[in-house]
Structure 1
Amino acid sequence: MIRVLFAAPQAEWEAYRGPLACAFEAEQLDVALACDHDPAEVDYMIYAPDGPVRDFTPYTRCRAVLGLWAGVEGITGNPTLKIPLARMVDEGLTQGMVEWVCGHVLRHHLGLDAHIKGQDGTWRKGAPPLAWDRRVSILGLGVLGAACARALAGLGFDVAGWSRGPKDLGVIGTRHGEDGLEDVLRRAEILVLLLPLTEATRDLLDARRLAMLPRGAVLVNPGRGPLIDDAALLAALDEGRIGHATLDVFRTEPLPEGDPYWAHPRVTVTPHIASETRPASAARVIARNIRRAQGGQELHHLVDRESGY
């Protein structure tokens, strides 16, 4: 019998209990899944950072922690966590992110706001450029960033991507390092942020780097709020150097009432809905990973503690 602890908020239990049971059965795993196992008897932990576990020390038998969310910045610095940590890479989450990013890139590329908001009797002529004449840059080429880059390239956009280390996405141009970052920023008519949050990426988009973007560029951030220096972005928006910012993530969530982003005419706020973990597909990811561990194989999507993701 494999004892799996569900260490996430109680509100998630009802959504995940059924899909997890089905996924464990499909993988032919004999699992006792509960929210209240004796810590000394837990073999695997399904974890969310806003769940009940803060101290991992009592979980002396636990072989791995399996994150429910894609982001791991809330756990990587925990000094009591000494065992392997796997982040969530879920096909449902990836597909949702691709749809959200493509939707908002197309919205800004086509200039849809002028027609949706501007139905005042004015006949506005002028077609947008075609996608291959629009330069889109993506910061972050992990699973989500790479999937969005491929989808946008498939729509015809001129896509380039940047990552901290070398990546090969075939026909999509990729760059890395500080010089590569400057290159992708200077070309970006639409910039998409899909980097993980680490000490190296916090406030990455500061005033100096925002100034590298072409005047009137659009910023789309479904990654992490603290990737952006908020004061620098608001100043760039006020001055018209940044044409628009569509923001799905923020330093404080929910975004507080009265925050300047809410009322800014060049900002679109969406409430952290770019994508989310879907219980059915996430349960399959977790069950497959436990099956791998039980068979002596390395877990998929292991977190590198030094890099922070």
Structure 2
Amino acid sequence: MNDNPCLLFMSSLDDPDEWTRALHEAWPEIEVRVWPDVGNADDIDFALVWKPEPGALRRFRNLRLIVNLGAGADAIAADSTLPENVPIARLADTGQAEMMSGFVLLCVLQYHREVQRLEVAKRARRWDYVHPKAHADTRVGLMGLGYLGVHAANVLTDMGFRVSGWSRTPKVLPQVETFAGLKELSRFLANINILVAMLPATSETYHILDREVFYALPRGAKFINVGRGSTVDESALLQALLGGQISAATLDVFETEPLPPEHPFWLMDQVTITPHIASVAVPETAARQIVANCRRLLSDESPEFVIDRARGY
């Protein structure tokens, strides 16, 4: 057996050298092995993974914690091949949260300051003066008040926007009017100027953003999705955009990714498309949280940020 704690890194999308440096800086004693060069499988204590191959982690008999390398936990929560007795933790990375909140703020400011209208005027060589509004004149609604959603709410309130938040279960946040459950959803939507979806992908959130939701918003509302593509009924959104009920949308996630070239969203001037880039894990900050969770297990403490596999987040 290995004397030092040993972590297996398994991701085809992330730089293993960058993560290894960050993990060693946070915990010099830890040994990091990169899939598929695992060495003695019995040495592995922890696994930092993104969409591991089905069944790949069952060979590690001494595995104590699986850390999901990303905010979305739906894929790993649905993986029935993972060891049943090993907890799965999600990231609660300050760097990732700052990146997400910055992206949300960028999108909100573009709509609040009517940048799209100014771009149209520029193409027409028309001086179109738009008198600036105070941030407090715009109400932003956040659907999803998890770790990233709460961080975004705090950033928006600090900037002076009026913020409402909706979540599955009741939450209390300073300076945020909160709503919970399906019974309060329509009341939440009634006065939102810009709706930001930050929901996880679960059976309960599948197509929760449907025609009824879009038409419960004030006419001309803007929509931003940085959560999961499966939460949106894209045909309902398309019709709401074509009819002017939703005047503009910024979409970072889709039901099918990459978004197929024949999809009508590509041709719509009122739709901004970004390729699932709103936020990623930042090794320098995430490594500290990962190490802290690993140390908790070695001290016989329960890990934090554990995913409920049944709920999918």
User: Which category describes the TM-score, using the shorter chain as reference length?
Assistant: over 0.9
Shift of 1:7: 1.8
- The within-5 A match list for 1:13-162 is 13-25=16-28, 29-35=29-35, 36-37=37-38, 38-49=40-51, 51-52=52-53, 54-81=55-82, 82=84, 83-119=86-122, 120-162=124-166
The residue type equivalent to 2:33 in the other structure is: L
**Which residue in 2 is equivalent to 1:172?**
176
Identical counterparts, % of pairs: 35
Distance 1:156 1:141, change over 3 A: same
Q: Judge conservation of contact 1:46–1:68 (CA < 8 Å) in 2.
A: yes
Instruction: State the distance in 1 between where 2:145 and 2:119 align.
Output: 32
Distance 1:297 1:152, change over 3 A: same
Unaligned runs of 5+ in 1: none
Unaligned runs of 5+ in 2: none
Tell me the number of residue pairs that the alignment of Structure 1 and Structure 2 aligns.
305
Shift of 1:53: 5.1
Shift of 1:198: 0.6
Distance 1:181 1:299, change over 3 A: same
Describe the SS at the equivalent of 1:17: helix
Describe the SS at the equivalent of 1:187: coil
- Normalising by structure 2, report the TM-score: 0.92
Q: Judge conservation of contact 1:97–1:274 (CA < 8 Å) in 2.
A: yes
**Which residue in 1 is equivalent to 2:280?**
276
Q: Judge conservation of contact 2:214–2:240 (CA < 8 Å) in 1.
A: yes
Shift of 1:203: 0.5
Describe the SS at the equivalent of 2:76: coil
Shift of 1:253: 1.7
CA displacement 1:100-138 (0-9 Å, x = unmatched): 101110110110111133213323234143211211110
The residue type equivalent to 1:266 in the other structure is: Q
The residue type equivalent to 1:74 in the other structure is: A
RMSD: 1.7
- Normalising by structure 1, report the TM-score: 0.93
Instruction: State the distance in 1 between where 2:136 and 2:305 align.
Output: 34
Distance 1:11 1:135, change over 3 A: closer
Instruction: State the distance in 1 between where 2:269 and 2:74 align.
Output: 31
Instruction: State the distance in 1 between where 2:184 and 2:33 align.
Output: 46
Shift of 1:288: 1.7
The residue type equivalent to 2:66 in the other structure is: V
Shift of 1:304: 1.5
Shift of 1:250: 1.0
Distance 1:166 1:61, change over 3 A: same
Describe the SS at the equivalent of 1:220: strand
